[in-house]
Amino acid sequence: MILILAYTQMFALDKESTLKIYTKILSSIFPTKKQINVYVPNREYYDILKSSNKLNVVDDIKKASIAIVTNLKELQSVKKLNKDIEIFATNEKLLFQDQSIVGAFYWKKGRSQLLFIKNRLDRYHIKLSDEYDKFIIEL
Amino acid sequence: MKYRYINKYILILFVVLIAFVGYLQYSVMQNTAKLKAQEIAKTKEYATKIVQYIKTKIPDNLDKSLENTNLRDELNIILSTFMTEKYKYIFLLDKKNDKYYRFLLDGSTNNPEEFHSIFLPRSKLYDEVYKTQKIKLIKQKDDVENVWLSILAPVVYDGKTEALLVLDLSKKYGDYIENFNSPISNLVRLIQIFLLVSLLILSILFYRYYKFRKKILVDKVTQAYTKLSLEEFFVKRKVQNEYIFMIDIDSFRVVNTKYGYKVGNKILKEFVECIKNSIDDSKKMIFKIGGGEFVVIVPQKDKSLNDKANELFNRLKDKKYYIGDDKISLSISMSGMKIYDEMSLYKVLNILDEKLLEVKSRGKNSYAIIAEKDKESILYKDIDFIKQHLEDGQFTCLYQPIYDTRTKQIVKYEALVRMQDNDKCISPYYFLDVIRGTTQYIKMSKLVFQDIFATLKKYPHIHISANMHLDDLYSSDMMSMIIEQLFYHKEYAPRLTFEILEDKNIFDYNRVNEIFMHLKAYGSKIAIDDFGSGYANFNYLIKLDVDIIKIDGGLIKELKTQPHKSIKVLKSVKKLANELGCEVIAEFVSDEEIYNHMVEIGIEYSQGFYLGEPKFIQEYLD
């Protein structure tokens, strides 16, 4: 199962906060994994996430459990390399554009937004804890 | 401003300053809070107006109507016009289901949200406003960027909430409001820092002052208080009616010389300890005012002054001091009194000192107390009391007649100064020594001479004797005053005799003779008072140009005890004086027997209570 995380508004967070948020989100997606292999084509996020102890940023997409993309080009590239990889998007447009993206974290009117699409989570057998219920919608 | 109040004033000033700064800070906070409240109220009003506008544009079916792109675009443009610098975002949301909200309108011109795009609010207030239909305010925290606070206004149609208008006030504007009063806040902060630093400095100064005070107020050797402390005690004294004792270790210098200062200090320490132990009162105060001189202040309780003095004196007298193999006791002299209200330290110490001298002159190692009945005499020795009476002209002269011994007719009056206190005439015994050598003394002498010349003027046939001290002759101020008086009253001067009193030897007879010449130049006469006593000796008769000899009262008194010898002495004085061309006056003629002796010896003039007491001149002449 592949989850793609997409983001567009990095300015909203500093490095430490970004790392903290993404570690928490990815840990909730993979609650049993001690270490999560992440594929991040974006250079800026690559540098941020690689400093995590919990996340293991990999260069080989085949070894990754999840991929994080920030735009359409990255999404297409990821899907080309591994069409089955779990996709999660932080960019709202990407989230609704591609059926394989199960969630996203992004900023709207200065407020952070975390959104998961229920049927896509189900498709990938992702079971989030109860605290994420309010972020899960059905389309 | 009295020095003793300065500390209080400084403290009050600080309290006022702190209160003022506190008030300033409170005012600034209040003002900022008021500004915020006003801004919130305005924003709420603004939000309500926008809602009303939307409702005017879309009277019903909001969601459906907004599906019309043209209408939506038009309203988005209008919303954007509502966005002034204060506002970061203005947008309209509706609630899709219980889960999330959707954008209906967005006033942002930069990256506006798409119609029906999803919005997940963190705050539960969105749902609350939707439900209660009441406008609410959310104060945003750091998790919402660039927004200070948000106003949530419900858009209600027919009692049903159709949408929520969100009006975000920018963080920049929030900071502006928050910092609106910052110049005053900064000033207040600066004053606070200044006050804090000042308080710190004051605390340090106070601590140093306290240490310094302790050093100067407490005697290092004996741990008794110092004289400075005694002065302070009198200024700040709250307890009244204490007993005060002045204790002097007689010839303490001898102890120091014989045994050394180290032993002397040890004895002083033990001496103070003995005073402490002798008085069973925690409020007692012991002051060291000299090498071996102490002042003890004890509150009055059940014991009388005499009992207390007796107890203290005996304990101190009986105390033994061990110096090596030697055992010594100290001879002490002590005076004591009750401190009366409004008595200055100067006054108290003066009285005690005088009494102490009296004790010492009686042979030391004893004590004396100033009794209640002496209170008045204490008062008459008070310099302030005398000064006040001088200023009020409350001084007068009594006149004692001097008789021609043979004819028993009054030939002269001796002017005797008195201070008037209501109906009482106070003897110079009390006040003369207090003011001698001061300007008050000259002031008093001037009053005396004015009285004498007025009397001479009023009664043209009488003669008057005025007393002058030998020291007065040496005082240029005094002599200027006397010469001036003689000059202005020169027609009366020939009826005036100056009786010169003295208590020490004359060293410069030429100078004295010169002064006598000055006085005699106006026709006045010179008499030597107390002839035959200590200093008034035969030398005077040889070296001074005197007209009258006034025999010392002591010699006259001897007529009662040793009449034969006395008569011989008096006769020889009389003979000698007459041969030198001087007349003789005998004073202290207190009874008929003495008077008869004067007649027998042939003394020309007599004066005394037997012949006439000092009275106001009118009583003799009117």
User: Which pLDDT score is estimated for A7?
Assistant: 38
User: Which pLDDT score is estimated for A12?
Assistant: 42
User: Which pLDDT score is estimated for B12?
Assistant: 87
Using only the alpha carbons of chain A, give its radius of gyration: 13
pLDDT category of residue A4 using cuts at 50, 70 and 90: very low
Q: Which residue of B has its CA nearest to A12?
A: B145
Pairing status of strand B242-249 against strand B101-106: unpaired
Residue range A5-45, pLDDT digits in tens:
433 344 444 788 889 989 999 999 999 999 999 999 988 88
User: Which pLDDT score is estimated for A138?
Assistant: 85
Domains B13-178 and B386-621 share a fold: no
Number of separate domains in chain A: 1
- Asked whether the beta carbons of residue B168 and residue A110 sit closer than 8 angstroms, the reply is yes
Average pLDDT for residues B508-525, to the nearest whole number?
90
The domain spanning residue A35 has which CATH number?
Answer: 3.40.50.2300
**CA pair distance B116, B105, nearest whole angstrom:** 9
Element (H, E) at B517: helix B509-521
Residue range B119-128, pLDDT digits in tens:
988 888 999 9
Q: Note down the domain range covering A16.
A: 2-137
Average pLDDT of chain B, as a whole number? 88
- Asked whether the beta carbons of residue A112 and residue B100 sit closer than 8 angstroms, the reply is no
Q: Is the pLDDT of residue B589 over 80?
A: yes
Q: Which residue has the tokens 């954007």?
A: B80
Pairing status of strand B320-323 against strand B409-421: unpaired
Selected residue of A14, A106, A111 to mutate for chain B interface (largest B Cβ count, 10 A): A111
- Asked whether the beta carbons of residue A110 and residue B88 sit closer than 8 angstroms, the reply is yes
CA A136 to chain centre: 14
**CA pair distance B119, B112, nearest whole angstrom:** 13
**CA pair distance A39, A42, nearest whole angstrom:** 9
Task: Tell me if chain A has a CB within 8 Å of the CB of B88.
Answer: yes
Separation in Å, CA of A103 to nearest CA in chain B:
13
Task: Tell me if chain B has a CB within 8 Å of the CB of A21.
Answer: no
**CA pair distance B401, B607, nearest whole angstrom:** 7
Say which CATH architecture domain B216-379 belongs to: 2-Layer Sandwich (3.30)
Give residues 82 to 111 of A whose Cβ lies within 8 Å of B: 92, 107-111
CATH class of B13-178: alpha beta
User: Which pLDDT score is estimated for B145?
Assistant: 84
**Residues B543, B507 contacting (CB under 8 angstroms):** no
Separation in Å, CA of A10 to nearest CA in chain B:
13
- Asked whether the beta carbons of residue A110 and residue B121 sit closer than 8 angstroms, the reply is no
Q: Which residues of B touch A114 (CB under 8 A)?
A: 120
Task: Tell me if chain B has a CB within 8 Å of the CB of A139.
Answer: no
Task: Tell me if chain A has a CB within 8 Å of the CB of B102.
Answer: no
State both tokens at B240: 């009244």
Instruction: Tell me the whole-structure pTM to 2 decimals.
Output: 0.50
Domain ranges of chain B: 13-178, 216-379, 386-621
- Asked whether the beta carbons of residue A134 and residue B117 sit closer than 8 angstroms, the reply is no
Q: Is the pLDDT of residue B239 over 70?
A: no
* Complex prediction ipTM: 0.84
CATH class of B386-621: alpha beta
pLDDT category of residue B504 using cuts at 50, 70 and 90: low
Selected residue of A109, A131, A132, A133 to mutate for chain B interface (largest B Cβ count, 10 A): A109
Among B88, B113, B146, whose Cβ lies nearest the Cβ of A108?
A: B113
Q: Is the pLDDT of residue B503 over 80?
A: no
Task: Tell me if chain A has a CB within 8 Å of the CB of B143.
Answer: yes
Residue range B39-62, pLDDT digits in tens:
899 999 999 999 999 999 999 888
Residue B501 in 3-state DSSP? strand
Name the residue among B268, B243, B246 with its Cα closest to residue B255. Answer: B268
Task: Tell me if chain A has a CB within 8 Å of the CB of B126.
Answer: no
